[in-house]
Amino acid sequence: MPLLRVSALHKYYGDNHVLKGVDLSIEEGEVVALIGRSGSGKSTFLRTLNGLESISDGVIEVDGEYLDAARADLRTLRQKVGMVFQQFNLFPHLTVGENVMLAPQVVKKTSKAQARQLAEQMLARVGLGDKFDAYPDRLSGGQQQRVAIARALAMSPKVLLCDEITSALDPELVNEVLGVVRQLAKEGMTLIMVTHEMRFAREVGDKLVFMHHGKVHETGHPRDVFAAPRTAELANFIGSVMG
């Protein structure tokens, strides 16, 4: 049984039909790269998966948790679906350690001592064990993004959504973040990434999902898809981004 299954997902912004029936299923441990032109709906789609965007029609099922246009138990769903953002969105009034400790304490009622231990482990996992007491604005963009990953991991999500997490970074900082993601993939984390890093998608991804005009236009293993796209739209897209 797939870990995540989306069927006939539609999303309207007013009259604007953004998602036009998305179907997708993702197995546990899969690393999925969502690609497509801007406006293809890939970010919107990603954001529906943890309820940041409401949906107009269709069903999302994550690890036994259902979400549709009428009902959504976001509290439960979001404990299963973590998210990392382009702009990091760390909490600036809290230290790095507190950023990671907050949700386990508040949402899962973990004791302070345990949350602290957990935060230390998660920060060590992203290579920032020594930054526990620093404030976010003292860190580089790459370090901030790694803290954001640690913060999401501290909730032990089943799936981690990554929304263009390297797009706001200076080029020399991209690799430290991708390194962490690569490590997570190796450890068996289920990842869904909206990304422009095509080489990374090809290297790490198990599945490539090309979105076009609000639909999943083509999917396949990145190696196959990059080598021999079946549709003209994907071939065009690959041509334009790979130069």
Return residues touching another protein (CB under 8 A). Answer: 50, 52, 74-76, 78-79, 81-83, 85, 87, 89-93, 102-103, 106-107, 135, 137, 148, 151-152, 155
Cβ atoms of 72 and 62 closer than 8 Å: no
Least distance CB 104 / another protein (angstroms): 9
Could you give the 3-state DSSP secondary structure of residue 210? strand
- Closest CB to another protein among residues 112, 223: 112
- Closest CB to another protein among residues 23, 73: 73
Least distance CB 156 / another protein (angstroms): 11
Least distance CB 54 / another protein (angstroms): 13
- Closest CB to another protein among residues 90, 180: 90
Strand ranges (E), the chain: 4-13, 16-26, 31-35, 57-62, 65-68, 81-84, 159-163, 190-194, 207-212, 215-220
Cβ atoms of 42 and 36 closer than 8 Å: yes
Least distance CB 89 / another protein (angstroms): 4
- Closest CB to another protein among residues 79, 195: 79
Q: How far is CA 234 from the centre of its chain?
A: 22
Least distance CB 136 / another protein (angstroms): 10
Distance CA 158, CA 137 (A): 29
Closest by CA to 110, choosing from 122, 127, 128, is 122
- Closest CB to another protein among residues 180, 208: 180
Long-range residue pairs from 168-171, CB within 8 A, at least 24 positions apart, any chain? 168/86, 168/87, 168/88, 168/141, 169/141, 169/142, 169/145, 170/141, 170/142
Least distance CB 86 / another protein (angstroms): 9
- Closest CB to another protein among residues 45, 237: 45
Instruction: Please name the residue that has the structure tokens 């599945």.
Output: 207
Token readout for 232 is 């003209």
